[in-house]
Structure 1
Amino acid sequence: MSMSEEVRLAAGDVELTITPHNGCRIASLRVAGDELLRQGERYGCFPMVPWCGRTDRGRFLNGATRHQLPLNAPPHAIHGTGRDTAWRTARADKAEAVFTYDLADPWPYPGRVTQMVELTDTSLTLRLGVETYDDSFPAQAGWHPWFNRVVGGSAVGIDFAPEWQEERGDDHLPTGRRVEPRPGPWDDCFGMPDGVDVTLTWPERLELKVTSREPWVVVYDEQEAAVCVEPQSGPPNGLNTAPRLVTPIEPLEMATTWTWRRL
């Protein structure tokens, strides 16, 4: 299978399309004919790896070694390199698929990233793994879905109960202070120590729950066309503030499951 080919999965009346050549993003998720994801080559749902959100001025430390990443969202580096990379399809059947890519410049450490996709007629489970065969390095993983604000004529509502909100500075990075959750609109990171649990409801159409064992979620609903619920292994700028070390014996692994029911 060439990198340019789309991978299509199906289960019951659910259809999913993945574009490995375009950052291994889920380009389409249709449930009973309703498209849940915003369309366009920048949208859908893409993996954020090997970091999530903004990294402060593109700089991070690994021990005493300082690294500089390209500033693709000046003055910061944003959302990792995986979304700009062509991935390889390792395996694909009717309802499951596995994809990989090798870390390379501008990321300064060699390694491999794996994304697994599992579809049923009521759920989608995504798994990410980051492994190294050599030097250890800090990393993050997560997903950035763009859910359509309106599905079947119904506008979405967002329901979740975070324990705290990361205070956001003028530079769009967490300040390090945790504050009481504030009303939206949001472009903010929230803490859910028992695991991410966010419900999206399109009234009289569909309810979709985004869950993960990870305690971090970014919610972005400042655009008219879409809302984003992003489970992450750490907060924005986490390469610096909450690094998760990938070692030859301990990869970074995380998962999220979306579960839906028709209303």
Structure 2
Amino acid sequence: MSEEEVRLAAGDVELTITPGNGCRVASLRVGDDELLRQGERYGSFPMVPWCGRTAGGTFLNGATRHRLPVDAPPHAIHGTGRGTAWRTVRAEKAEAAFTYDLADPWPYPGRVTQEFELTDDSLTMRMGVETYGDSFPAQAGWHPWFQRVIGGSAVEIAFTPEWQEERGDDHLPTGRRIEPRPGPWDDCFGMPDGVDVTLTWPERLELKVTSRTPWVVVYDEQEAAVCVEPQSGPPNGLNTAPRLVTPIDPLEIASTWTWRRPATGGEGRTGGA
């Protein structure tokens, strides 16, 4: 199996994963429609072992302060997994699994596993982070770039968060929860019953992003694409809401995208937060 591309198929749906380019989903085709923005930096990539921005590129584990590469000055962004070559563990017709070992610049040894399961109307992704020794704070999630326009139809985003994390001038949550505001967004929202966001390209396709995690970042400030990012904690969560990975308690997260087409699914939801 080539490490350059792993392709899964179910019915007329095809998924392409590039393990050597951060184990991202490079393409998701549903019939004739490509759902993801194309390009080396786009598709849908894993955010691990942290999500979004980490303030100043530093975090604490107990009394020990660690430094991360500042790749979105003055912050570190989106983890190391997206810039790492992953190893293909299993690749079957509609399922695949990949791993990579945490290493410098991440200061703790461990392993990340990512699994994909494709059907003709859904994609389920699972990610796990385990430690080889000391406990450490970590986060995991996904950053898809969905096409804003598919087949001439512009996307509409519908979701009902319980709160919005107030965003400071430094692009980080201030720690204050506010009433959800209309877009455009580059913001983190709380959905305590689990992430449930619907993207509708009217008369073309409806896609629902779900996850049991209560955190989602929605970004729609770009002309070409919109992002709906389920993640295990808020931006800067290594500092503000640390979730420890321990030898007996790995971090695990899953998300499912489910789609339907007008010929088989009926009307889609519209609206906004």
Calculate the TM-score normalised by the size of structure 2. 0.95
1:53-109 deviation digits (Å, cap 9, x = unpaired): 000001100001000101010000000000000000000000000000000000000
Distance in 2 between residues matched to 1:243 and 1:194, nearest whole Å: 20
Residues matched between the structures, number: 262
Distance in 1 between residues matched to 2:213 and 2:19, nearest whole Å: 25
Distance in 2 between residues matched to 1:64 and 1:125, nearest whole Å: 38
Distance in 2 between residues matched to 1:85 and 1:57, nearest whole Å: 22
Percent of pairs identical after alignment? 87
Distance in 2 between residues matched to 1:116 and 1:42, nearest whole Å: 20
- In structure 2, the partner of 1:120 is 119
Shift of 1:118: 0.3
Distance in 1 between residues matched to 2:258 and 2:114, nearest whole Å: 19
Matched, 1:101 2:100: yes
Equivalent position amino acid for 2:24 in 1 = R
Distance in 2 between residues matched to 1:55 and 1:33, nearest whole Å: 38
- In structure 2, the partner of 1:170 is 169
Gaps of 5+ in 2: 263-273
Equivalent position amino acid for 1:128 in 2 = M
SS of the counterpart of 1:21?
Answer: helix
Matched, 1:133 2:132: yes
Distance in 1 between residues matched to 2:123 and 2:69, nearest whole Å: 32
- In structure 2, the partner of 1:12 is 11
Matches within 5 A, 1:72-221: 72-221=71-220
SS of the counterpart of 1:188?
Answer: strand
Moved over 3 A (4+): none
Distance in 2 between residues matched to 1:225 and 1:185, nearest whole Å: 14
Matched, 1:31 2:26: no
Distance in 1 between residues matched to 2:206 and 2:195, nearest whole Å: 16
Distance in 1 between residues matched to 2:244 and 2:108, nearest whole Å: 12
Calculate the TM-score normalised by the size of structure 1. 0.99
Shift of 1:2: 4.8
Matched, 1:226 2:229: no
Gaps of 5+ in 1: none
Equivalent position amino acid for 1:217 in 2 = V
1:159-189 deviation digits (Å, cap 9, x = unpaired): 0000000000000000000000000000000
Equivalent position amino acid for 1:115 in 2 = Q
Shift of 1:144: 0.1
Shift of 1:204: 0.2
- In structure 1, the partner of 2:267 is none
Equivalent position amino acid for 2:206 in 1 = E
Shift of 1:226: 0.1
Shift of 1:33: 1.3
